[in-house]
Amino acid sequence: MTSWLRIKAIFFKELIQLKRDRMTFGMIVMIPLIQLLLFGYAINTNIRHIPAGVVDMSQTGISRLLIQTVQATQVVDVQHYFQNEEQAQAAIARADIRAVLFIPQDISQRLARHPSVGLGTPASTDEETTRPIAQWIVDGSDTIVAGAIKGLKGMPLVELLNKPANRSVPTFEITLLFNPEQRTVVNIVPGLVGIILTMTMIMFTSAAIVRERERGNMEMLITTPVRPIELMLGKIIPYIFIGSIQVSIILGLGYTLFNVPVNGGLWDLAGATFLFITASLTLGLVISTIAKNQLQSMQMTVFILMPSILLSGFMFPYEGMPEAAQYIAEALPATHFMRMIRGIVAREVDLFAMSYDVYWLALFTLAGLVVASLRFMKRLD
């Protein structure tokens, strides 16, 4: 027969145990709170202030007014000026900017011929009359960013024409680089490499030290001449090979099933992957020295995984996030790897062209190893 008194006793026992487990109690409160803040403030599909550049071959008052008109839409934020189209495309490949406005030398003549009738079909449909006045060159590997720039294609030229432009004639020509077909899978497959590695690498090593303690192996490790840094390195090296296998599976199937080729060099890909795997593994080791049991290590892994998915640029463009969220994103290894893997796979970028992300992941790995080793030494005491 069911005894409500016994159920009540178990109920209060669980409450007391939960109260003592501060890590679990903190996760109960923090996980929904952080997810609410991330989805409410940081996630924004209506992207604005996309970093852009300008190649102004005209250097006239009209070209400067056009740049001001484009910036007034708040869709783009002009951050760089380039001498020629080649420099601009190289900056797009490095992800310094996401689009560039190319203003031709004859913009005044094009503007004079551009239809300025409010509605209807232009009186003349010859090539000169229907010619766009300028060109947008866009990183097409991110379909959300490309879609936002494509929204400027028929932008009215009220300031330049003193009357609405004919919307049947495009104001700008749009050229999409790296993914002209706008296939979402070109952006998703490289991003999945970063997310899957984040999940598995941190999960594997976050329980490494905890598992030794729970199995009773910690006392044996203490009595051996193994140094803390040697233990940390020994823990992460096997998983480097496991991570490499995962990358090969994802990119191999991505090419076979979805025709997503690796356009960049394989050595560049291997270098970027190695940096990210080691950074993720050292982060897992730091978690392992903090957690008291494997349950807590899993909870902390989820705590890292959710921001990595939402803020790294995997699901939502980095440029669409508020500045505070971007600072948080820059602290995550996944954000830096996301830029590197997409640059190598989709845009054929050299690894050294993304030196900021390379140095950041390398320093993160060194700092993580030092912190994990120092915390393990304290445990020895």
pLDDT by residue for the chain (381 residues), tens digit each? 667 787 777 777 777 776 776 666 666 677 677 777 766 666 666 788 899 999 999 998 888 988 998 998 889 999 999 999 999 999 998 889 999 999 999 888 888 776 654 434 444 555 555 678 899 999 998 888 899 999 888 887 765 655 455 556 788 999 999 988 889 899 999 999 999 999 899 988 888 777 777 776 766 766 777 777 787 788 888 889 999 999 999 999 999 999 999 999 999 999 999 999 999 999 988 888 888 778 788 888 888 888 888 888 888 888 778 888 888 899 999 999 999 999 999 999 999 889 999 999 999 999 998 898 888 764 544
Within a domain: residue 20?
A: no
* 199 within some domain: yes
User: 150, 177, 204: which is the final residue of a domain?
Assistant: 177
Shared domain check, 324 and 358? yes
- The residues, ordered by sequence, that sit 6+ positions from 368 with a Cβ below 8 Å of its Cβ are 279, 282, 283, 285, 286
Give the end of a domain, one of 158, 177, 196: 177
- The CATH number linked to 94 is 3.40.1710
**Domain identity same for 231 and 375:** yes
In-domain check, residue 44: no
Q: Which two tokens stand for residue 261?
A: 């080729």
In a domain, 371, yes or no: yes
Residues 189 and 172 in one domain: no
Domain shared by 231 and 354, yes or no: yes
Are 216 and 322 part of one and the same domain?
Answer: yes
The reply to whether 9 falls in a domain is no
Residue 8 covered by a domain? no
Kindly state whether residues 211 and 350 are assigned to the same domain.
yes
Report the C-alpha gap between 148 and 155 in whole angstroms: 12
**DSSP 3-state assignment of 3?**
coil
Same domain, yes or no: 208 and 310? yes
DSSP code for 319: G
Q: 314 by DSSP, 3-state: which?
A: coil
User: What is the CB neighbour count within 10 angstroms for residue 174?
Assistant: 18
In this structure, are 171 and 121 located in the same domain? yes
| Structural domains in the chain (count) | 2
Which pLDDT does position 378 carry in this prediction? 47
Specify the pLDDT at position 340.
Answer: 94
Whether 243 contacts 322, CB under 8 Å: no
Q: What pLDDT is attached to residue 119?
A: 38
Give the three-class secondary structure for 292: coil
- Do 92 and 221 fall within a single domain? no
Q: Are residues 87 and 153 in the same domain?
A: yes
Structural domain contains residue 221:
yes
**Gyration radius of the chain over CA positions:** 27
Which pLDDT score, from 0 to 100, does residue 161 have? 56
Of 148, 177, 206, the position where a domain reaches its end is 177
Domain of 258, in residue numbers: 184-380
- Residues near 5 by beta carbon (within 8 Å), at least 6 away in sequence: none
Q: Is the pTM of this model over 0.85?
A: no
* Same domain? 214 vs 352: yes
Q: Provide the CA 357 distance to its chain's centre, in angstroms.
A: 12
- Residues 228, 134 share a domain: no
* pLDDT, position 294: 80
The H-assigned helical ranges of the chain are 4-20, 22-37, 61-72, 85-93, 107-113, 143-150, 158-161, 185-206, 208-214, 218-223, 228-258, 266-290, 294-311, 323-330, 333-347, 355-380
Largest Cα span, the chain: 93
Distance CA 269, CA 244 (A): 10
Asked whether residue 26 is domain-assigned, the answer is no
